[in-house]
Amino acid sequence: MTTIALTISALTVPKSLDDADGADFRAYGDLNRQICDELVGLPDIAPDAAQLLAGWQDSTDTLHTGFVARLGDEIVGMITIDYAQEEDAHAAEIDLMVPERHWGRGVEDALLSLAETEARAHGRSLVQTWTLHRPVETERMIVPRTGWGRIPAIPLSDALEARGYEFEQVERNSEFDLHSDPAPLREAMETAQTGAGPDYRVLQWLAPTPPEHREGYAAILARLSTDAPSGEMDFVAEVWDAERVVRREKRLTGAGQALSVVAVQHIPSGDLVAYNELLIASDRTGVTHQLGTLVSSEHRGHRLGALVKCANLLHWRERMPHSPVVSTFNAEENRPMLGINEAIGFTAVSYAGAWQKRI
């Protein structure tokens, strides 16, 4: 129940961050990073306002909305609500951001209630969200319905449970030291190349994707929404084509970011059957984010996951020598991918919990 007199207004999406109406969006980027810092001490896993803006300005594939809670003139919390635009999409994805010093005053309850109301108004029957957790053992650890992994309870997970959200899955956030000895990475790369055999070849490019690969890249990107382990999280099958690849890359690189893609092509068919992506902000001294990594189910067992990861990491070390680490998230039950990560030197630094509620 709300215990303070809040004013909640829609988050304005400016044409430019420097515009007069850009203050709240700049605050959104700052708050997003602040929450990640408070929860797990990793502010750089969150994009800043400049990186976020391009995605918010283009609603073709995902409609982004948000709300700002104020006490007087002070921002005390925000919530964002994203709607996938596929015809059969029925979920809204929310991200609640309330600073520690304002928690427990009713801000979180007011924003969660608003988000659920908004989701219904947009015709959605499901709300999904994620929580961040430090890699520590506490008196109360909670286990997802998958049975894989566990996380320490925090105030947000308590609030979600109280509102009827189901804890579905744990994702491990791991980091790779880009300045470590490259010998194990090169050895893993050679082993993966031998395991893959002559029917597969490695392709690499920096975004934008070459026109001749866009359709193939779209096809493998579409598989991520259906092939990646997701427990009981109810995700819509995404619809991809070459035009969506172009739109996505404009959003991802619109603030000076660099996106590196390594893909594996199955030579007999010409299909792209595996890929790995690395993204860095315009500040090339910052954290690198590994986005998607996937091997098509029909081509698993040929060490293609290790191949794309190692090839991209080795290339990235040379291209971005000042980035310290690569950060990635993987489902705890995705043992093949986690096994690759562990073998080449990724270590756990935090965890995420996936939650959903039928409304």
For 86-124, the pLDDT digits (tens) are 999 999 999 999 999 999 999 999 999 999 999 999 999
Residues 6+ apart with CB under 8 A from 101: none
Element (H, E) at 261: strand 258-266
Q: How confident is the model at residue 231 (pLDDT cuts 50, 70, 90)?
A: confident
- Give residue 1's pLDDT band: very low, low, confident or very high (50, 70, 90): very low
Degrees (nearest 5) of the Cα angle 282, 284, 290?
Answer: 90
- List the one residue out of 49, 47, 50 whose CA is nearest residue 288: 47
The tokens of 129 are what?
Answer: 């969200």
Q: What is the mean pLDDT of residues 192-210?
A: 97
Nearest-angstrom CA–CA distance, 203 and 209:
11
CB atoms within 10 A of CB 15: 10
**pTM: predicted TM-score of the whole model, two decimal places:** 0.94
